[in-house]
Amino acid sequence: MKSVSPYGCLRGFGVGVLVVACVADLLNTGAAGHSLWPVAVVLPAGLTAVLWPAARRPPWLTPELRTAVPGALSALLTVGSLVSGGSYPFGPGEVMLLVCLLFVAVRHCRPGWAVGCGLLVAAALLTTPVRLSRTLSGDALGFVAVGLVLVGLTAGFAGYLRSLDYRRTVAVGETRRAERLAIAADLHDFVAHHVTGILVQTQMARMMAASPSRELDPVLAGIERAATEALASMRRTVGVLRDTGTEADRRPVGDLAAIAELTDGFPAPGQRVALDRAPGLDAEVPHEVQSAAFRVVQEALTNVRRHAGDATAIAVRLRRAGDRLEVTVTDDGHGSAQLPDAAHGGGFGLVGLTERVTALGGTLDAGPRAAGGWTVRALFPLGKS
């Protein structure tokens, strides 16, 4: 049976209240003998802007358009009421819509538009009492005072969430930059490995050249192969290194063989780690892919320790799936780790790991298992570049 999240229930309740309030506005306007078409324009425009699902929202329906149009329509209705010399009611539905639109304007509009759209919607909200009294006095003045508090709270909360969004964007960018610098350090190691092989085989070729009877072709073929692998490593990795900066600290480069050492030293009391590695993988997997696979396993095991300390069975699987290397780490934990909050990390480990995997043309997926626990799965292409 599919579970329903409390957030989904709360959101559904809020949508229902908003729709009911707007229907009440229409009924009250008709019962008071006023024309329905103005409110029948303002309320649907506001409901469309607030309730249109983000996944189905067309590109042209920007936050600026969603907030400016309903806000301007509400303000025009107020101006029209003043110009005509009559009165026109407003209700809780319109007020709730304008509050929601103010939140959208402050949090989601572009920096240059957020202030303008926010002020437009706030002005439309605070001037609605003028439709009835034509002056800001008495009850209308009291509504404006309450409205100012509501506007301040809504704008402040939306601004706070916007600042959190910005901080996360900066943190993700810094994580990606740090991971690119780490990839640069690994690239150095890969190329150094191949170039060292070229140097050794070149020295052998020079010594063999002194003896015409000895065959040079196998040595020259080895030099060619090492140079080709070095160039392939550079092509696969250097494309993502767009940032410049100081040289990153050197980090040890893992490989498939090191994964066995990693899993052997991981288990805590009551845990067991099973490693299933297909034979013969080391020879056909490029060095940079081996390093990324090691980091996938390392990050996945670290997350088990941080977030699923109650896990008893962890499985690490390395196998060839067609022309790709598949790395899978699964656990049966339920997220009852008792580590301090400071030890849980900033939540950006998978961001950097995704950057590393996609840099090599691979994919990374992580999520809960149907039977409980968590799965991290990475696929790396093994085809020649």
Write down the pLDDT at residue 252.
43
Both tokens of residue 183?
Answer: 């990839």
2-5 long-range contacts, CB within 8 A, separation 24+: none
How far apart CA 314 and CA 176 sit, in angstroms, is 28
Write down the pLDDT at residue 213.
56
Residues 6 or more apart whose Cβ sits within 8 Å of residue 52 = 61, 66
Write down the pLDDT at residue 235.
63
Write down the pLDDT at residue 153.
94
Residues 6 or more apart whose Cβ sits within 8 Å of residue 121 = 67, 70, 71, 98, 101, 102, 105
How far apart CA 97 and CA 118 sit, in angstroms, is 13
Q: Which strand (E) or helix (H) includes residue 262?
A: helix 256-264
Residues 6 or more apart whose Cβ sits within 8 Å of residue 117 = 63, 64, 67, 68, 71, 105, 109
How far apart CA 333 and CA 308 sit, in angstroms, is 5
Residues 6 or more apart whose Cβ sits within 8 Å of residue 234 = 187, 190, 191
Write down the pLDDT at residue 312.
84
How far apart CA 317 and CA 332 sit, in angstroms, is 15
- What are the residue ranges in the chain where pLDDT is below 50? 1-5, 242-252, 338-346, 385
pLDDT in tens, 316-355: 999 988 888 999 999 988 765 544 444 444 455 677 778 8
Q: What predicted TM-score, i.e. pTM, was given to this entire model?
A: 0.55
